[in-house]
């Protein structure tokens, strides 16, 4: 019996590609050629291969026209990510194409990245590293690159889901007080003493540092705008490892330049891989290249989860465990 044909848009960890090649007629992208940035090209290659499934990744633009152009042979699109805002779910549903993702295995790694950025922003680590690397360091000085401590500060977590809760656990170890904003209050055993805020205004005014963990979509687009930044305490820190488009870049850059916002740490960007030009000349912003889940262990687990979803649909005729639509 012929193996199902699987189109893989991105270079994946070697063990995941090896298993895909073993169990499928896998059409891989071993050098990560950038055709994955074009939804029409993904669809064209799926037609050419007569693909039964397509394994995409975060940011691959599978919008309505690309979904419409997929061959009738495609039964499943699985994304190597938790987020699905790069996929037109309604278009997939209308065509009867199953969409799956890889939840639950990247929460700790993404929280680690958020905490890394929090420490870097608070202690001006990016500035210090650039100073040393540029051979501009003249030795220790009493007032050199003074930052702020995390101990005793109020950390505001916007979106208290799996990642936000993992971050809260890390922050408690640094003596931080946890505040959160979410659609509804969570049970006490989940809060573990965290303070719930019913309004944006009360939440933003209360915290010293904000870490953003909200999904994409119309409800969160440019959520952190000039008005909300102005409601925060002078000298607040901003961290975003959620979605790039949840921040009004021009407003945040202006707040950083004015000093109202002390520092920021960003791992996601609106329109990435492009980065808002206003950030590039600012010393008080740390910019990471979307490293949220980038650990060997996490990416292996994500790959296994993607293949598990594919196996269920294409090899065993079973419901996939991580179905979105």
Is-contact 1 315, C-beta < 8 A?
Answer: no
Q: Which tokens is 199 given?
A: 């309004």
Closest to 275 measured CA to CA, from 296, 294, 253: 253
Closest to 82 measured CA to CA, from 119, 55, 107: 107
Strands of the chain (E only): list them: 5-8, 25-27, 53-57, 76-80, 98-100, 154-158, 177-181, 195-197, 209-212, 236-240, 261-266, 285-287
**243 among known catalytic residues:** yes
- Per this entry, what is the length of the chain? 325
Interatomic CA distance for residues 105 and 297, integer angstroms: 9
Cα distances from 227 to residues 121, 148, 204, 234, 240, in angstroms, run 22, 25, 11, 13, 18
SS3 category, 241? coil
Interatomic CA distance for residues 232 and 154, integer angstroms: 12
Interatomic CA distance for residues 298 and 63, integer angstroms: 27
Q: Name the active-site residue from 185, 272, 304, 315.
A: 272
Is-contact 16 297, C-beta < 8 A?
Answer: no
Q: Which tokens is 83 given?
A: 């987020």
Q: Name the active-site residue from 10, 290, 315, 323.
A: 290
Q: Name the active-site residue from 45, 213, 243, 305.
A: 243
What is the 3 state secondary structure string of 98-119? EEECCCCCCHHHHHHHHHHHHH
**290 among known catalytic residues:** yes
Catalytic residues: 243, 272, 290
């Amino acid at each position: 019996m012929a193996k199902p044909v699987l189109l893989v848009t991105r270079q994946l960890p070697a063990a995941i590609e090896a298993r895909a090649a073993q169990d499928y007629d896998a059409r891989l992208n071993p050098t990560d050629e950038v055709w994955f940035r074009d939804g029409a090209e993904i669809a064209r290659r799926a037609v050419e291969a007569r693909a039964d499934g397509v394994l995409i990744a975060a940011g691959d633009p599978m919008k309505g026209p690309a979904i419409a152009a997929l061959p009738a042979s495609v039964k499943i699109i699985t994304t190597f990510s938790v987020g699905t805002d790069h996929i037109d779910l309604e278009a997939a549903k209308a065509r009867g194409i199953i969409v799956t993702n890889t939840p639950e295995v990247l929460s700790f790694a993404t929280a680690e990245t958020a905490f890394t950025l929090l420490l870097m922003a608070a202690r001006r680590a990016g500035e210090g590293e650039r100073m040393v690397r540029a051979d501009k360091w003249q030795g220790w000085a009493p007032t050199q690159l003074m930052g702020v401590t995390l101990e005793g500060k109020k950390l505001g977590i916007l979106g208290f889901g799996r990642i936000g809760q993992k971050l809260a656990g890390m922050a408690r170890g640094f003596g931080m007080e946890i505040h959160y904003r979410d659609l509804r209050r969570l049970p006490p055993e989940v809060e573990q003493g965290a303070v719930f805020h019913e309004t944006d205004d009360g939440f933003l005014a209360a915290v010293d540092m904000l870490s953003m963990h909200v999904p994409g979509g119309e409800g969160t687009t440019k959520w952190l705008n000039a008005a909300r930044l102005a409601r925060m305490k002078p000298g607040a820190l901003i961290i975003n490892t959620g979605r790039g488009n949840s921040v009004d870049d021009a407003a945040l850059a202006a707040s950083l330049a004015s000093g109202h916002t002390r520092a920021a740490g960003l791992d996601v960007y609106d329109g990435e891989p492009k980065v808002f030009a206003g950030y590039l000349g600012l010393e008080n912003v740390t910019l990471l290249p979307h490293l949220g889940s980038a650990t060997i262990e996490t990416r292996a687990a994500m790959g296994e989860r993607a293949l598990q979803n594919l196996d269920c649909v294409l090899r065993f005729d079973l419901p996939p465990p991580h179905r979105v639509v």
